[in-house]
Structure 1
Amino acid sequence: MRERDDPEVIGRRVQQLRTERGLTQRQLAEPAYTPAYISTLEAGRARASDEALRHIAGRLGVAYEELAVGRPAHLATGLRLRLTEAQRALADGRAEEAAAQYAALLTEAEGHGLAHEQATALLGLGDCSLETGDLGLARDHFERAEARLAGESLPSRVPALRGRAVSHYLAGELRYAVYLLESTLDELNRGGLHDPDALLLLYASAIGPYMDMGAHARAAQAAEFALALAPQAEDPALIARMHRSVARTLLAEGRVAEADASLAKAAELYRQLRLRTELANCHWMRGYVCAQDGELERAESELRLALDMLSETRAALYRSQAAVELADVLHRREKSAEAAELLNGVLGDLSSERGAVHAAAAHRLLGIIAEDARDTEAAEEHYVRALSLLERAGAAGDLADLCRLLGDLLRRTGRVEAALDAYRTGLGHRTAPGTTTLGPAPAQPPL
């Protein structure tokens, strides 16, 4: 944000406002200054002090900042109010409408040199792009937001850094997403910058990449830190998102009742806030928890609800990911034809660049369905495509299981050596989950 315009610009502004109000230089100057001083100032030959500008602004009947930087009074406040309206539109699932509002607000904030409001609008545009699945555009918005906040403290830059990390995570770049999150956590904790909202945002965002990489111990630790930080945080939407992320880790540790309780808390907060996409994601996660606990009928109900809600919000990438979870439940409930139809319908929205881990899950499930139908050629093709996606993403947590499926298929079709190679590859990913692809853990918060 610029502090003051150049003297020439301020001089022209003073002269224009004085003329519009029909004042002489003497009338503007009295009683504290001389007409000559006003003349020098209007000519741009003198840099007015803050005290002088406040006197002149009072005589002209305008705010100090309107003279200093040409900004209408209360502009920043009005912009912030409209930014919250755009945020509400996004929360209600109207991503395209919100993006149009954020873009207009960004232009206005740029015109008046309001760096903080520019960053807020760019963060909103990034979230809109995440919602619609345009991950490259999302990264660009988050990077620009970070640049606008370059002079701010690290906690202030955390939402932009987290947005970049989530963009890379959804694109299947797990290692880089974890690097961004862990390096920021390390810098915050080592530097004594223990901002609860910033730390909670980072720990909650790290759980998904950790789980997909097979780093279950780090995911569990991040979940424990997030739960400990939640009472200190002020943002209810942030707390709700944390509860949803933590549930996945609690489930992996066999703590099903606690996972369900976390999701209930998240759902209640989302209902209060009317955050439709996040509420849909909460139903998705509850469906996942139910499926892992063997409650398939309830899981199907929760996942169908999530899918319907995400379809209404046009959250293409999230919708496709929820569809993969639902297809898994349908297959387990012996509705394989419907599951295959659902998977084939969403694979076009998923790729190595968009939702790689879920794209691999879709191919894995299609492979299992093909095996059940004794179509070994199609099954092998799906397994190989899934393997390629997971290897590129570094998702060690799922690679071992997929190698076992492929090895079993190759063994049953008489290709013993190829089967052994698949098994060996799987064992390599089993050796030390979470330690082969990650460096030292980041410094911990003082809890």
Structure 2
Amino acid sequence: MGERDEPEVIGRRVQRLRVERGLTQRQLAEPTYTPAYVSTLEAGRVRPSDEALRHIAERLGVDFRELATGRSARLVTDLRLRLTEAQRALATGAAQEAAAQYAVLLTEAEEHGLAEEQSGALLGLGECEISTGDLEKARQYFERAEECLADDPLPARVPALRGRAVAHYLAGELRYAVYLLESTLDELNRGGLHDPDALLLLYASVIGPYMDMGAQARAAQAAEFALALAPQVADPALVARMHRSVARTLLAEGRLAEADASLAKAAELYRQLQLRTELANCHWMRGYVYAQNGELERAEQELKQAQDMLAAQGAVLYGSQVAVELADVLHRRGRSHEASALLHDVLGDLSSERGAVHSAAAHRLLGIIAEDARDTEAAEEHYVRALSLLERAGAAGDLADLCRLLGDLLRRTGRVEAALDAYRTGLGHRTAPGTTTLGPAPAQPPL
């Protein structure tokens, strides 16, 4: 038994319960212990062993945990059931309702000093803030969740660490997000802490930042490890998230049919589990797959379905990111005016601290639309803003293409030297993807 009250507190509790039940010290002690031992215990002069407490708890008719900590097993069970209900509310898109439930649960868990349940409520509150787009608050909740489990083994702290990394990633702090995820993976693997759930969660989460940083080789390796770990993981929601992440690496390799199959697996699992926010993200990615394959009408349908689902759930940040993908499809379908209006609408919800990569994508597309309309001044302004956002985020994966667009524009307007500078910047990011921002790869899992 790890956590327990001080001997004098336990002693007073034993005495109170014994008197309430009308037992003598001899009746409580028999047949294993002596009345003198019970007297010493009640006076707080001895630290009882787990075996002694189990014996006394059985004689008093109470739970061992309740005798050791003053907290009933019923209370803990009730809190955990309500945590599950709050998780379900969040998963089905009721983020505000879930946040209210988590806040009440956090207060109760704090009152009773239940660290694990406190951490669960804080994790939930962090996920609610991610959903609504308040990334600073989300980070604070995840940090507090981590602090609650400071004395627990690393695998128990992984969900909080991963949450913190996702908040940094969405805020455009790609390098720091990768550092958090890689250092945790390294510690788990080097320390022999082979927890398949923890490892799969981390590998699935690091794929997105890797891809945005242009480190496709690392993303592919993380996907390979994730697929190898999946059979050892019982949580279907975690497996579904892995399939969704792996689809990104398949897309980058041009394996569109395999990416679509991976997303179909994830979507089916999410439907069975009724996880609407995650299902919306699957529609989002399938829309992207269809767009890559030139099936623009199907892409538009999928992206609009994702957008409607996310809007109904109040997932503002994710909804804005989907809108950028949808605008690209609308532009490619010849509806540039509609695309431009959509992008201007969502730019208010995106910034360098909130969805930086998608904010850059919005400016890039607005630049292309302006160029098509022969408004070179507006096009250059959008390209430069996009470049600034991507450089700040360290998103080398998209920088090379953007530098080419800017260089071509500058060359056409007669600024050859400036165009060469833009091309050189792009080449610097293209020659060795990821090597300028990432250190040695983390230790590999013992598969």
What is the TM-score normalised by the length of structure 1? 0.93
Q: Residue 347 of structure 1 aligns to which amino acid in structure 2?
A: L
Is the 1:186–1:442 contact (alpha carbons within 8 Å) kept by the matching residues of 2? yes
* Structure 1 residue 153 corresponds to structure 2 residue 153: yes
Q: Distance in 2 between matches of 1:25 and 1:184?
A: 51
- TM-superposed deviation, 1:45: 4.3
Q: Distance in 1 between matches of 2:213 and 2:411?
A: 27
- 1:136-157: CA deviation from partner (whole Å, max 9, x where unpaired): 1211222222222222222222
> Which residue of 1 is the match for residue 124 of structure 2?
124
Moved beyond 3 Å, runs of 4+ = 14-61
- TM-superposed deviation, 1:30: 6.5
> Which residue of 2 is the match for residue 261 of structure 1?
261
Q: Residue 229 of structure 2 aligns to which amino acid in structure 1?
A: L
- TM-superposed deviation, 1:214: 0.9
Is the 1:259–1:289 contact (alpha carbons within 8 Å) kept by the matching residues of 2? yes
- 1:122-173: CA deviation from partner (whole Å, max 9, x where unpaired): 2222211211111112112222222222222222222222111111111101
- TM-superposed deviation, 1:48: 4.3
> Which residue of 2 is the match for residue 110 of structure 1?
110
> Which residue of 2 is the match for residue 273 of structure 1?
273
> Which residue of 2 is the match for residue 415 of structure 1?
415
Q: Residue 198 of structure 1 aligns to which amino acid in structure 2?
A: A
> Which residue of 1 is the match for residue 331 of structure 2?
331
- 1:340-379: CA deviation from partner (whole Å, max 9, x where unpaired): 1111111111111111000000011111111222222221
Structure 1 segments unaligned to the other structure (5+ residues): none
Over the aligned positions, Cα root-mean-square deviation in angstroms equals 2.1
> Which residue of 2 is the match for residue 310 of structure 1?
310
SS in 2 for 1:74: helix
* Structure 1 residue 177 corresponds to structure 2 residue 189: no
> Which residue of 2 is the match for residue 241 of structure 1?
241
- TM-superposed deviation, 1:74: 2.8
> Which residue of 1 is the match for residue 319 of structure 2?
319
- 1:259-309: CA deviation from partner (whole Å, max 9, x where unpaired): 110010000000000110000000000000110111110000000000000
* Structure 1 residue 229 corresponds to structure 2 residue 229: yes
Q: Distance in 1 between matches of 2:444 and 2:24?
A: 65
- TM-superposed deviation, 1:174: 0.8
Which has the larger displacement, 297-306 or 339-348?
A: 339-348
Structure 2 segments unaligned to the other structure (5+ residues): none
Q: Residue 5 of structure 1 aligns to which amino acid in structure 2?
A: D
Q: Residue 68 of structure 1 aligns to which amino acid in structure 2?
A: A
Q: Distance in 2 between matches of 1:154 and 1:26?
A: 45
> Which residue of 2 is the match for residue 359 of structure 1?
359
Which has the larger displacement, 266-275 or 143-152?
A: 143-152
Q: Distance in 1 between matches of 2:218 and 2:168?
A: 19
| Pairing 1:25-424 to 2, within 5 Å after superposition | 41-424=41-424
SS in 1 for 2:73: coil
- TM-superposed deviation, 1:50: 4.2
What is the TM-score normalised by the length of structure 2? 0.93
Which has the larger displacement, 116-125 or 274-283?
A: 116-125
Is the 1:80–1:117 contact (alpha carbons within 8 Å) kept by the matching residues of 2? yes
SS in 1 for 2:305: helix
Q: CA 1:53–1:427 in structure 2 vs 1: closer, same or farther (change >3 Å)?
A: closer
- TM-superposed deviation, 1:8: 2.7
Which has the larger displacement, 53-62 or 389-398?
A: 53-62
Q: Distance in 2 between matches of 1:321 and 1:38?
A: 65
Q: In the comparison of the two structures, how many residue pairs are matched?
A: 447
- TM-superposed deviation, 1:19: 4.9
Is the 1:248–1:289 contact (alpha carbons within 8 Å) kept by the matching residues of 2? no
